[in-house]
């Protein structure tokens, strides 16, 4: 019989979403549902959120931008293309999102309204009215881009999830051409040649087809060899004077096809997923990625050229991209224009090279909540789907919300316990599979707090599903890109983000849920998988339970829970240490885990509850939650319902409709319905006694602050970005930073303190995506520069470097390597955090330095001796395998074949401990007589 000891400290709580506009909506209503009262919090995330925009002219020549609102209610904003003023705004029926718009040759505009269903809407500028044209294809949930028109005003587009192609004409209505190809879910992009041929791009397997709109015949065009079979989407397509421009994702490339010659002509690489403009004097324009600028493409020669020199025209500032003819004579001819995600527009005149920004009055909307969860500060956090970089924080008592900048979409937000540190809130992103950590003891200052620890898209991952603490590490589960199978389990350091392991523990399956515990002294992860992924039919769809050994980093056991279950989306430990798991047929399974004497594992499952009394599809890989509402009650949501389970009787109560059920820890819970958050309170609930307020503490002195008398100098300066701006206390403003000159091959920064100070910590606030990869930090001690930190391979924007305390008068940073050779720093903080002498300002006392000696055969005798570091020897202590510490009084014996890890250290009379020393004993033959010096007994060796 095995011994199982739980290592889970607290259940993970999930969250997501936030608001761009100041302040959310407080509670506006209450109701009674079952044995719970329900308070409506409101829609906490509201923002201008423009995913695409169409540009052109109204029949009277007025420049116009048609901007859809990706929010509730779905709206079409008609914006004056020169001034940004709102001409009119129109609700799109009962739809909650709108992605795409298009401008017809007849002067009308179209918009796709989605959720529920997918309908096409037509705007008539003569009447300033919008007409709901209905669904192009019954049962489809998405309409693709609206960029393909015939001269007579016929619109061509596609759908999801059945990949249909359709057309619409005001006189003839809809025509459904059927699925473009068997098995393709997305008819993602279209381009019409004006003579009867429609080009159709697909996803999530990128393919290109030629469709004859008269006969319906279709022919596949092979993609260029260097991209074939490797891409997920043909995401955008545009036909320009005989050339077809097809954007491939994730290659970030426009490939150019000569439709007359029937061959691929060019490949424009490292470009944004923005449109190709209409032709201007034989040239089209597109948006580049590095640098973020407008480039031109000559249709005859194929030559490209950089047009702007701003490095500011990114995808999010060019969601809409096209050509306008403005009415101001100082902006003659054609003007390139872009509409940004937040409604900010820009103009660039081709003739005069004038550039300007224009803030428009495009309409905002409430955004759908993607996840909820409790933070380590006892506030509720929310994240939305495809936001313009916004989140929300909600006070669980007052129900007031505030806007926060954050990742554009988060699939996971939760508080996680990691051994050796206080509980912290982590955020899991999409589509970079980013892992972010928030320190609630400091001010929210995205992207520095929360700070991104890792980007798992470098491991070909797209979406974070779950996180849990595993000893001193963080375990993260992710899905691979759309159209692929599988996903990773990643083990990383929760402070530095360094990755210890990232791979598929069950090949071909993604890990959807995790539980951490100890079985017979071995630390393991118990996980549940999912075979469900967008754009792929899995050949082996049955979900798995598995056991992953954290010492060997290997999967030791895999089993199927039962036939028909394709996802295990949650695993929860109950207070009595039973383990429950949620299967996506809406049942709760109890796990009985054992390890026999030979080291083999087994997992037996028993169904303990059926949420709806019958199988029902719920939680393909995320969305279904389990947590403890109180010690006797489990809270969850599945298939659009919030429920509770009595732990003792397994009785299920369906409480209300909703998703993202999140327990607060005091017996209450929150949940969402699309864009709106609600709070549930049990009947007769009594608020727990509040925790006592902590004693106030003095703030730690930052010796690298101008207000504290510090001064700064640097090897060079770029423009107005001088060294004094890294000591002004501003950690986020782009106008307050030091940037070294482009020709400075050995950039350095020196900060002189007002007076000598004991320091042991340096914090750097770097510029996101332009971080220093390699650098050294030195402190000036007794007039000499002493290196205190050597950093290589850094990828983080916020870095904290701790070192043995020194009494210093200045600090120096030497930049060695970055993406472009420059150093970009917002702020440097130099403090004393951990040393016993931090408050004294005197030279810190040195701890003893310990030497170990062992002699014998398999059994060895170990003796410890210490050298006085200058403040005396208070004692020696030792322990085995991370166990309890023992005071050392005399030599002791151990058995080498037991493979024990011996740790030991000395302390000074004031309690200052030296660095812990380690010896890992291994089996071996023959007599040994070994003295281990301190330099060779560090625990990192």
Q: Per-residue pLDDT for 502 more than 90?
A: yes
For 726-737, what is the mean pLDDT?
A: 83
| Residues 64/78, Cβ–Cβ less than 8 Å | yes
Q: Per-residue pLDDT for 267 more than 70?
A: yes
Q: Per-residue pLDDT for 940 more than 70?
A: no
What is the reported pLDDT for 19?
A: 29
What is the reported pLDDT for 166?
A: 98
Residue-wise pLDDT tens digits, 278-312:
999 999 999 999 899 999 999 999 999 999 999 88
| Residues 51/99, Cβ–Cβ less than 8 Å | yes
- Domain final residue pick, 831, 864, 891: 831
- Domain final residue pick, 224, 254, 272: 272
Neighbouring-strand partners of residue 191: 199
For 544-573, what is the mean pLDDT?
A: 94
For 667-696, what is the mean pLDDT?
A: 84
Q: Assess whether 430 and 516 both reside in one domain.
A: no
Q: Per-residue pLDDT for 10 more than 60?
A: no
What is the reported pLDDT for 262?
A: 97
Q: Assess whether 532 and 498 both reside in one domain.
A: yes
What is the reported pLDDT for 849?
A: 87
What is the reported pLDDT for 836?
A: 63
CA–CA dist 416, 426 (Å, integer):
7
Q: Assess whether 721 and 575 both reside in one domain.
A: no
Q: pLDDT confidence of 734, banded at 50, 70, 90? A: low
Residue-wise pLDDT tens digits, 609-640:
999 999 888 866 667 899 999 999 999 999 99
For 553-559, what is the mean pLDDT?
A: 95
Domain membership of residue 690 (yes or no) is no
Neighbouring-strand partners of residue 159: 143
How many residues are listed for the chain in this entry? 941
Assign residue 486 the CATH number of its domain: 2.130.10.10
Domain membership of residue 328 (yes or no) is no
What is the reported pLDDT for 469?
A: 95
Q: Assess whether 501 and 570 both reside in one domain.
A: yes
Q: Which of 61-65, 220-224, 926-930 bottoms out in mean pLDDT, i.e. has the lowest? A: 926-930
Domain containing residue 244: 135-272
Residue-wise pLDDT tens digits, 835-864:
666 754 444 457 788 888 888 887 888 999
Q: How far is CA 312 from CA 315, 357, 386, 389, 823, in A?
A: 10, 11, 21, 17, 19
Q: Assess whether 446 and 467 both reside in one domain.
A: no
Q: What is the mean pLDDT of the chain?
A: 90
Neighbouring-strand partners of residue 636: 626, 643
Domain membership of residue 593 (yes or no) is yes
- Domain final residue pick, 602, 623, 644: 623
Q: Assess whether 721 and 586 both reside in one domain.
A: no
Assign residue 916 the CATH number of its domain: 2.60.40
Q: Assess whether 618 and 494 both reside in one domain.
A: yes
| Residues 372/12, Cβ–Cβ less than 8 Å | no
* Residues in CB range of 190: below 8 A, 6 or more apart: 144, 145, 147, 148, 156, 157, 158, 165, 198, 199, 200, 201, 237
Q: DSSP letter string over 133-154?
A: EE-SSTT--EE----EE-TT--
What is the reported pLDDT for 533?
A: 80
Residue-wise pLDDT tens digits, 308-334:
999 889 988 999 999 999 999 999 999
Q: Which of 212-226, 365-379, 655-669, 903-917 bottoms out in mean pLDDT, i.e. has the lowest? A: 903-917
Higher pLDDT, 17 or 323: 323
Domain membership of residue 891 (yes or no) is yes
Q: Which of 188-192, 505-509, 893-897 bottoms out in mean pLDDT, i.e. has the lowest? A: 893-897
Q: Assess whether 827 and 757 both reside in one domain.
A: yes
Strand ranges (E), 819-900: 824-831, 849-856, 859-867, 875-880, 886-887, 892-895
Q: Assess whether 143 and 249 both reside in one domain.
A: yes
Domain membership of residue 119 (yes or no) is no
Q: pLDDT confidence of 11, banded at 50, 70, 90? A: very low
What is the reported pLDDT for 21?
A: 31
Q: pLDDT confidence of 83, banded at 50, 70, 90? A: very high
> Domain tally for the chain?
5
For 154-175, what is the mean pLDDT?
A: 97
| Residues 556/548, Cβ–Cβ less than 8 Å | yes
Q: Assess whether 470 and 613 both reside in one domain.
A: yes
Domain membership of residue 70 (yes or no) is no
Q: Which two tokens stand for residue 774?
A: 């390699």
Q: Assess whether 749 and 720 both reside in one domain.
A: yes
Q: pLDDT confidence of 900, banded at 50, 70, 90? A: confident
Q: Assess whether 248 and 157 both reside in one domain.
A: yes
Domain membership of residue 687 (yes or no) is no
Higher pLDDT, 893 or 940: 893
Q: Per-residue pLDDT for 12 more than 70?
A: no
Q: Per-residue pLDDT for 920 more than 90?
A: no
Assign residue 268 the CATH number of its domain: 2.120.10.30
What is the reported pLDDT for 650?
A: 96
Residue-wise pLDDT tens digits, 408-462:
999 899 999 988 777 899 999 998 999 999 988 888 989 888 999 999 999 999 9
Terminal-to-terminal C-alpha distance of the chain: 37
For 95-111, what is the mean pLDDT?
A: 95
| Residues 812/788, Cβ–Cβ less than 8 Å | no
Domain membership of residue 45 (yes or no) is no
Higher pLDDT, 899 or 48: 48
What is the reported pLDDT for 844?
A: 47
For 659-675, what is the mean pLDDT?
A: 95
Which residue, chain included where needed, has tokens 């279950």?
565
């Amino acid at each position: 019989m095995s011994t199982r000891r739980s290592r889970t400290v607290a259940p993970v709580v999930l969250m997501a979403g936030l608001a761009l506009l100041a302040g959310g909506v407080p509670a506006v209503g209450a109701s009674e549902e079952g044995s719970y009262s329900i308070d409506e919090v409101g829609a906490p995330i509201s923002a201008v959120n423009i995913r695409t925009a169409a540009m052109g002219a109204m029949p009277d020549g007025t420049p116009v931008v048609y901007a859809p609102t990706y929010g509730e209610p779905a709206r079409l904003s008609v914006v004056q293309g020169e001034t940004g003023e709102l001409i009119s705004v129109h609700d799109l029926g009962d739809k909650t999102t709108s992605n795409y718009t298009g401008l017809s040759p007849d002067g009308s505009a179209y918009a796709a309204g989605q959720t529920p269903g997918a309908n096409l809407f037509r705007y008539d500028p003569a009447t300033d009215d919008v007409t709901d044209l209905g669904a192009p294809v019954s049962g489809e949930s998405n309409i693709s881009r609206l960029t393909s028109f015939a001269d007579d005003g016929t619109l061509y587009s596609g759908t999801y999830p059945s990949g249909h192609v359709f057309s619409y004409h005001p006189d003839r209505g809809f025509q459904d051409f059927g699925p473009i190809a068997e098995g393709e879910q997305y008819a993602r992009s279209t381009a019409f040649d004006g003579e009867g041929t429609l080009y159709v791009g697909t996803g999530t397997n990128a393919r290109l087809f030629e469709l004859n709109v008269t006969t319906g015949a279709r022919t596949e065009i092979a993609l260029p060899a260097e991209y074939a079979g490797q891409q997920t989407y043909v995401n955008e397509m545009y036909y320009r004077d005989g050339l077809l421009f097809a954007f491939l994702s994730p290659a970030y490339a426009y490939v150019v096809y000569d439709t007359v010659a029937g061959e691929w002509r060019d490949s424009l690489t490292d470009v944004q997923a923005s449109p190709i403009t209409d032709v201007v004097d034989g040239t089209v324009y597109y948006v580049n990625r590095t640098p973020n600028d407008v480039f031109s493409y000559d249709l005859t020669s194929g030559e490209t050229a950089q047009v702007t020199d701003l490095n500011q025209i990114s995808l999010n500032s060019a969601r809409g991209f096209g050509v306008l003819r403005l009415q101001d004579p100082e902006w003659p001819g054609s003007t390139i224009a872009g509409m940004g995600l937040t409604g900010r527009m820009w103009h660039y005149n081709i003739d005069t090279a004038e550039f300007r920004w224009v803030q428009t009055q495009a309409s905002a909307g409430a955004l759908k909540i993607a996840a909820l969860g409790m933070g380590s500060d006892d506030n509720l956090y929310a994240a939305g789907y495809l936001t313009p970089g916004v989140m929300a924080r909600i006070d669980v008592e007052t129900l007031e919300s505030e806007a926060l900048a954050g990742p554009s979409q988060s699939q996971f937000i939760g508080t996680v316990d990691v051994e050796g540190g206080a509980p912290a809130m982590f955020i899991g992103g999409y589509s970079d599979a980013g892992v972010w950590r928030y320190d609630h003891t400091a001010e929210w200052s995205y992207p520095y707090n929360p700070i991104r620890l890792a980007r798992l898209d470098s491991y070909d991952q797209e979406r974070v599903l779950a996180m849990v603490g595993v000893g001193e590490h963080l375990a993260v589960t992710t899905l691979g890109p759309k159209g692929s199978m599988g996903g990773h389990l990643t083990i990383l350091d929760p402070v530095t983000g360094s990755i210890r392991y990232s791979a598929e523990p069950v090949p071909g399956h993604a890990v959807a849920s995790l539980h951490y515990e100890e079985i017979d002294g071995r630390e393991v992860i118990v996980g549940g998988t999912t075979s469900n992924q967008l754009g792929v039919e899995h050949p082996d769809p049955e979900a798995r339970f598995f056991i992953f050994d954290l010492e060997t980093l290997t999967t030791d056991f895999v089993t199927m829970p039962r036939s028909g279950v394709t996802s295990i989306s949650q695993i929860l430990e109950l207070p009595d240490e039973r383990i429950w798991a949620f299967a996506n047929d809406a049942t709760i399974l109890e796990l009985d885990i054992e390890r026999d004497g030979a080291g083999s594992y087994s997992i037996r499952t028993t169904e303990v509850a059926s949420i709806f009394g019958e199988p029902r599809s719920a939680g393909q890989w995320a969305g279904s939650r389990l947590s403890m509402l109180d010690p006797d009650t489990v809270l969850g949501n599945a298939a659009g319902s919030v429920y509770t389970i009595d732990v003792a009787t397994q009785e299920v109560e369906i409480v209300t409709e909703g998703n993202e059920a999140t327990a607060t820890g005091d017996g209450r819970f929150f949940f969402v319905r699309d864009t709106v958050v609600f709070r549930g309170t049990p009947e007769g609930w009594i608020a727990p006694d509040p925790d006592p307020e902590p004693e106030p503490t003095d703030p730690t002195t930052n010796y690298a602050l101008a207000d504290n008398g510090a001064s700064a100098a640097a090897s060079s300066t770029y423009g107005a970005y001088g060294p004094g701006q890294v000591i002004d206390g501003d950690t986020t403003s782009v106008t307050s930073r030091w940037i070294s000159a482009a020709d400075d091959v050995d950039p350095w920064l020196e900060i002189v303190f007002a007076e000598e100070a004991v320091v042991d910590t340096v914090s750097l606030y770097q510029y996101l995506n332009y971080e220093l990869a390699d650098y050294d930090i030195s402190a000036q001690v007794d007039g000499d520069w002493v290196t205190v930190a050597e950093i290589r391979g850094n990828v983080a924007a916020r870095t904290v470097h701790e070192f043995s305390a020194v009494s210093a008068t200045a600090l120096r940073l030497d930049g060695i390597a970055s993406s472009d050779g420059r150093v970009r720093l917002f702020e440097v903080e130099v403090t004393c955090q951990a040393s016993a002498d931090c408050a004294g300002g005197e030279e810190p006392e040195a701890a003893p330095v310990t030497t170990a000696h062992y002699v014998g055969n398999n059994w060895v005798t170990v003796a410890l001796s210490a050298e006085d570091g200058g403040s005396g020897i208070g004692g020696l202590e030792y322990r085995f395998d991370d166990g309890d510490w023992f005071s050392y009084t005399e030599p002791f014996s151990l058995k080498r074949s037991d493979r024990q890890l011996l740790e030991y250290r000395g302390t000074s009379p004031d309690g200052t401990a030296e660095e812990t020393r380690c010896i890992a004993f291994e089996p071996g033959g023959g007599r040994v007589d070994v003295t281990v010096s301190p330099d060779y007994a560090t625990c990192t060796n």
